[in-house]
Structure 1
Amino acid sequence: MKYRTLGNTGIEVSEIAFGAEFLVERPYEDTEVLIKACEENGINFVDCWMSEPDVRSHLGKAIKPNRENWVIQGHIGATWQNNQYVRTREMDKVIPAFEDFMERFQIDTLDFGMIHYVDQIDDYNEIMNGPFMEYVRKLKEEGTIAHIGLSTHSPDIGLLAAQNPEIELLMFSINPAFDMFGSVDDVGDYRKEDAYDDKDLSSINPQRAELYEICQNNGTALTVMKGFAGGNLLSDETSPFGVAMTPVQCIHYVLEQKGVSSIFVGVKTVDELMESLKYCDASESEKDYYDVLKNAPEHSFKGQCTYCGHCSPCASDIDIAMVIKLFDLAKYHDKIPESIRQHYNDLKFNATDCIACGECEDRCPFSVPIVDVMLDVQDLFEL
């Protein structure tokens, strides 16, 4: 197992972490077996958003003997009402639910107190300017939580959070399928039957790539949920690409994105956990997802830049991935936004420095015609 540092926090966590969502309505023995398997294989990071009381109690009991070795993400705003999970910002529900979390986990300090599931701008603004955030700040001031995090599926919210100095960690949904989209109204939109009907969907959405880079540059820790797109990417029948990826390929895709520290894998059994842990000993060919996405019968990434950086180094020292990303962000507007133009102008070397040697194209895993793109970039930014 390899470990990465969570942003500016200095905390080291395993690249593969344990997402405990499938422990609902399961006996304690199942939790204990999975936690022991995690510990034996070097996993030291767990997320618990579930509000079902037994899940919390079982995890707390299983982790307690080795609590000092674990880093825990716990969610504020996930409540248990009338025997079901409810996301809420009502403080008379939020506070007792979080106190219940701490009691059932048998801890005095939570490593990351996560502002739970924020996908709408109005919700984000209400949280940040109201009693919810006041409560979160109070928890940190008292030492009940060590760090503040936020979970979202929306790039718009992610960009706001990544630039908010109070948010030290962002939990975000990353996988090749979701990465084709910009912001959507609800995470359920990714699962709609016609979600992938748009034939123009290909490669990573530049807004998402911008988010990952901002997290890296700002030192905002980035942890990942839904790395397998709810399991859809693991089957030919359900994958939007028309071809299955392996857990190892999905994990590698996630861990190659800028800023990412760790991916939470949701598993029901030790056997499923071990399928993900194969990543630790996988060969480069087993990790390689490029051919899958480049040759996919649906939504092929061939010819589309994913900003992966494999084109480097450039003979003219151009940050090719950054230049193309700014180009992709700019071309969606009738007029180039000044912020994007300024960012492009601030680059030490840009598309005008391209000598058309083509060495970058030889290294590109997705066969992007980079030399031609550099000419298009010049045409756009020189207007």
Structure 2
Amino acid sequence: MNYRKLGNTGFLVSEVGIGGEYLEDESLKTTVDTMHAAMDLGVNILDIFMSEPNVRTNLGAGIKDRRDKIYVQGHICSIWENGQYGRSRDLEKSKFFINDLFTRLDSDYIDIGMLHYVDTMDDWRDAKQNGIVDYMLKLKQQGRFRTLGVSSHDPLVAQEMVNSGVFGVLMFSINPMFDLVLNQVETIDYLEHPELGNIDHISINKSRAQLYSLCEEKGVGITVMKTLGAGRLLKAESSPFKVPMTVNQCIHYALSRPAVSSVLIGARSVSEIEDAVSYCDAADEEKDYSAVFAHLTNEQSGACMYCNHCLPCPVHIDVAQSTRILDEARQYGMNDSLRREYAALGHKASECVACGACEKRCPFAVRVIDNMKEAAALFE
């Protein structure tokens, strides 16, 4: 495993880290086995944004007796209400659920206290006005948060967070689909910024390029989410490049951006974390992603990343799972396996009341209501 400085925090983190999200539906044994395998392979950073109680408890068991061997990136403002994940800027709720995380991890500190999911200036204003930021600073003063970070999907808002001077870590979604395809309003040539690459016919979103450079300038370390584009980049059918990328290529792309310290790969098994960590031993030609960009198209705007940041849903639809099943039916055609998966969902797409709250929350501009209508028509 290779290690990098996490900005100016003083932490040395593994280039490949682990995002705990995909362990949410796994057993205690699978979670513990996956975490032990990850740490045995040198992984030393774990992200826990999830508020679901069982996954927090299971991850706590997975790092028990090894707590000093791993940096935990734990999120405040991620809550669990009415059996669903949610995001809140309510101070008392935020306090309750961050203390719940301390308890379930059986730890009196969290290495990187993350302000969860700030994608608008209103989010940032509310976090300050409602006392969330002051509370985070208090926890840092007490040593319960060793350093502070923030997660975002929006480059302009993220720049504001970096410039605030509050945060030493930024968790940001980085992959070539986001940099080169989505939201490509302002672009900047790679040739003008050789640190971003050397492919003369490709441009990167200007705001994103500026963000990465700003983080480097300010000493803010970036931890990366959505490295594989929720798996879309690994399949020709769903990739905007019309050819599949490999896990090694996706990891290498993210690690090639300025200020990036660690790429957090979602893994739900020992084999998946082993596959991710194999990047460290891959040959240069296995990591090279440049040829993929020759196939660049602009067809992926509004693609669901299955993150469920659109929740909570008033009728408890699992939007991520419903959309994933729909996408697979779109790409590969209907089959009995997909019908069984859809039938097993607790709440069906036809229950959607088209309130639009999910679309306002979605960081990727997904047309959720249209997807739910299509899923209902196809499966019901």
Q: Does TM-score exceed 0.5, indicating one fold?
A: yes
Counterpart contact for 2:254–2:263, Cα < 8 Å: yes
How far is 1:257 from its partner?
0.3
> Is 2:50 the partner of 1:50?
yes
- Once the two structures are superposed, the pairs formed by residues 17-96 of structure 1 within 5 Å of their partners are 17-96=17-96
> For residues 213 and 81 of structure 1, what CA distance do their matches in structure 2 show?
38
TM-score, with structure 2 as normaliser: 0.72
> For residues 255 and 261 of structure 1, what CA distance do their matches in structure 2 show?
7
Matched with 2:198 is none
> For residues 297 and 76 of structure 1, what CA distance do their matches in structure 2 show?
37
Matched with 1:244 is 244
> For residues 228 and 217 of structure 1, what CA distance do their matches in structure 2 show?
26
> Is 2:121 the partner of 1:121?
yes
TM-score, with structure 1 as normaliser: 0.71
> Is 2:98 the partner of 1:105?
no
- Once the two structures are superposed, the pairs formed by residues 213-362 of structure 1 within 5 Å of their partners are 213-293=213-293, 295-296=294-295, 298=297
> For residues 251 and 128 of structure 2, what CA distance do their matches in structure 1 show?
32
How far is 1:182 from its partner?
7.2
How far is 1:151 from its partner?
0.2
> For residues 298 and 127 of structure 2, what CA distance do their matches in structure 1 show?
37
* Residues 25 and 205 (structure 1), Cα distance of their counterparts in 2 relative to 1, 3 Å cut: same
Counterpart contact for 1:20–1:266, Cα < 8 Å: yes
How far is 1:103 from its partner?
0.4
Give the 3-state SS of the residue equivalent to 1:171 in structure 2: strand
Output one character per residue of 1:239-274: Cα deviation in whole Å (capped at 9) or x when no partner: 011111000000000000000000000012222222
> For residues 114 and 183 of structure 1, what CA distance do their matches in structure 2 show?
25
Matched with 2:355 is none
How far is 1:181 from its partner?
5.7
Give the 3-state SS of the residue equivalent to 1:113 in structure 2: strand
Counterpart contact for 1:155–1:182, Cα < 8 Å: no
- Corresponding letter in the other structure for 1:67: R
How far is 1:202 from its partner?
5.2
> For residues 99 and 236 of structure 2, what CA distance do their matches in structure 1 show?
43
> For residues 167 and 117 of structure 1, what CA distance do their matches in structure 2 show?
14
Counterpart contact for 2:31–2:59, Cα < 8 Å: yes
Matched with 1:145 is 145
How far is 1:139 from its partner?
1.2
> For residues 9 and 241 of structure 2, what CA distance do their matches in structure 1 show?
37
- Corresponding letter in the other structure for 1:75: H
Give the 3-state SS of the residue equivalent to 2:176 in structure 1: coil
Runs of 4+ in structure 1 off by over 4 angstroms are: 181-184
Give the 3-state SS of the residue equivalent to 1:65 in structure 2: coil
> For residues 166 and 122 of structure 1, what CA distance do their matches in structure 2 show?
17
> For residues 50 and 108 of structure 2, what CA distance do their matches in structure 1 show?
19
> For residues 258 and 121 of structure 2, what CA distance do their matches in structure 1 show?
24
Output one character per residue of 1:207-233: Cα deviation in whole Å (capped at 9) or x when no partner: 111110110111011110000111100
> For residues 228 and 25 of structure 2, what CA distance do their matches in structure 1 show?
23
Output one character per residue of 1:298-346: Cα deviation in whole Å (capped at 9) or x when no partner: 359xxxxxxxxxxxxxxxxxxxxxxxxxxxxxxxxxxxxxxxxxxxxxx
Counterpart contact for 1:154–1:183, Cα < 8 Å: no
The more displaced of 125-134 and 224-233 is 125-134
Q: Report % sequence identity.
A: 41
Considering Cα pairs closer than 8 Å and 6+ residues apart, tell me whether 1 or 2 has the greater RCO. 2
Output one character per residue of 1:40-84: Cα deviation in whole Å (capped at 9) or x when no partner: 111011000000111111111110111111101000000111111
Counterpart contact for 2:89–2:130, Cα < 8 Å: no
- Corresponding letter in the other structure for 2:295: A
> For residues 269 and 250 of structure 1, what CA distance do their matches in structure 2 show?
19
Output one character per residue of 1:271-292: Cα deviation in whole Å (capped at 9) or x when no partner: 2222212211111110000011
- Corresponding letter in the other structure for 2:246: T
Give the number of aligned pairs: 283
Output one character per residue of 1:343-363: Cα deviation in whole Å (capped at 9) or x when no partner: xxxxxxxxxxxxxxxxxxxxx
How far is 1:39 from its partner?
1.3
How far is 1:174 from its partner?
0.2
Counterpart contact for 2:183–2:205, Cα < 8 Å: no
Give the 3-state SS of the residue equivalent to 1:9 in structure 2: coil
Give the 3-state SS of the residue equivalent to 2:295 in structure 1: coil
- Corresponding letter in the other structure for 1:105: L
Matched with 2:211 is 211
- Corresponding letter in the other structure for 1:298: T
* Residues 229 and 271 (structure 1), Cα distance of their counterparts in 2 relative to 1, 3 Å cut: same
> For residues 279 and 25 of structure 1, what CA distance do their matches in structure 2 show?
26
How far is 1:297 from its partner?
5.4
Extract unaligned runs of 5+ from structure 2: 185-200, 300-380
